[in-house]
Amino acid sequence: MSETAERELITDFTDVSMDDLKVKHDTVQTKLTGQEENELILSAYVARNSEVFPKVLELHVDNGSTIADVTYGKGVFWKNVDLGDYEVYASDLDPKKSPSGHSVDCRNLPYEDNSLDVVVLDPPYAEGFFRKNKEMLAGGDGSHQQFRESYSNGEVLDTNGSKYHQAVLDVYYKAGIEAHRVLKEDGTFIIKTQDEVSANTQELTHIQITNFYEGELDFYTKDLFVTVRSNKPAVSGMNTQVHARKNHSFFMIYEMDTNDPVNVLYND
């Protein structure tokens, strides 16, 4: 495949098969021990994503489930998962991170309606990755470089006119609509997100997303995991602090079952 073809975003999926996106079992790096698997699962951990994600699966995903990770990145979530327990398909907007080499947008997936048990979503959750000027994208100056390598291909993402924090939300919203399409009636939607302060305004992203998923898509918010960093967040260019610095993020678990209760209150 040529460099040009490799970087081209796939929108016509006639030449992309499910096998192209399937993650092979031999990519698993480690597996949780029996003792770790039998521990009581808690709602908050000072741990890495790769340590918390297996607990999410253990509690909410049955063995043998068909799972699509639609923002695969470097595959960090799966480092401590035995891929033999699931049928895993992976894709990413960056073809270099997508196991198949295809660039696939989480807002336009190559899966049929009602075909998946689980969708996993972890898009960029900082507005700095959605700026219109490529030179101004987050991490371009060398700070947060590891974060940028995980969440961005260094290119400006098409946000259809949305700006700043609204651009972040729009990706979650549209990816949620697409997840709703491809999930089975009893499917599970797992997302990773983090709140942020944008333009000196507190944006509680996990609540905003939940309001949309429950209010517009009839998802039920079944669970929430808090992942706390073990090290301190980097700080630059701040003279006076007015908001608590974010050192935690969320795994949110939503279900398609509309008979379950909701967590959003509506006015009659």
- Tokens representing 181 are 């399409």
| The pLDDT of residue 132 | 52
Rounded distance between C-alpha atoms, residue 53 and residue 200, angstroms: 31
Could you tell me the CATH number of the domain that includes residue 235?
A: 3.40.50.150
Domain that holds residue 28: 3-255
The answer to whether residue 203 sits within a structural domain is: yes
The residue ranking higher by pLDDT, 167 or 140, is 167
The residue ranking higher by pLDDT, 33 or 169, is 169
| The pLDDT of residue 11 | 67
The answer to whether residue 201 sits within a structural domain is: yes
Rounded distance between C-alpha atoms, residue 182 and residue 65, angstroms: 14
- Tokens representing 252 are 């949110």
- Tokens representing 93 are 């907007």
Residue 57 CA, chain-centre distance (Å), reads: 14
- First-to-last alpha carbon distance for the chain, in angstroms, is 56
The residue ranking higher by pLDDT, 219 or 128, is 219
- Tokens representing 55 are 């607990």
| The pLDDT of residue 149 | 44
| The pLDDT of residue 254 | 97
Over the stretch 62-115, which tens digit does the pLDDT of each residue have? 999 999 999 999 899 999 999 999 999 999 988 888 888 888 999 999 999 999
Mean pLDDT of 112-127: 91
The answer to whether residue 38 sits within a structural domain is: yes
- Tokens representing 43 are 């709602």
Q: Work out the percent of the chain whose per-residue pLDDT is above 90.
A: 50
164 burial type by CB count under 10 A (0-12 exposed, 13-18 middle, 19+ buried): middle
The answer to whether residue 262 sits within a structural domain is: no
Rounded distance between C-alpha atoms, residue 164 and residue 172, angstroms: 14
Q: What DSSP element (H or E) covers 178? A: helix 164-182
The answer to whether residue 266 sits within a structural domain is: no
Rounded distance between C-alpha atoms, residue 130 and residue 19, angstroms: 31
The answer to whether residue 170 sits within a structural domain is: yes
Q: Is the dihedral of CA 93, 23, 122, 154 positive or negative?
A: negative
- The confidence band for 140, taking pLDDT boundaries of 50, 70 and 90, is very low
The answer to whether residue 264 sits within a structural domain is: no
| The pLDDT of residue 241 | 84
Decide: 122 and 189 in contact? Cβ < 8 Å: no
Q: What are phi and psi of 146, to 5 degrees?
A: -65, -40
The answer to whether residue 125 sits within a structural domain is: yes
- The total number of structural domains in the chain stands at 1
The beta strands (E) that lie in 81-237 are given as: 87-90, 116-121, 183-193, 196-198, 201-203, 220-228
Mean pLDDT, all residues of the chain: 81
- The confidence band for 127, taking pLDDT boundaries of 50, 70 and 90, is low
Cβ neighbours for 232, distance < 8 A, ≥ 6 positions apart: 247
Q: What are phi and psi of 226, to 5 degrees?
A: -105, 125
Q: Which residues are 226's β-sheet partners?
A: 44, 250
| The pLDDT of residue 139 | 40
C-alpha distances in angstroms, 177 versus 17, 106, 134, 140, 210? 22, 10, 28, 31, 13
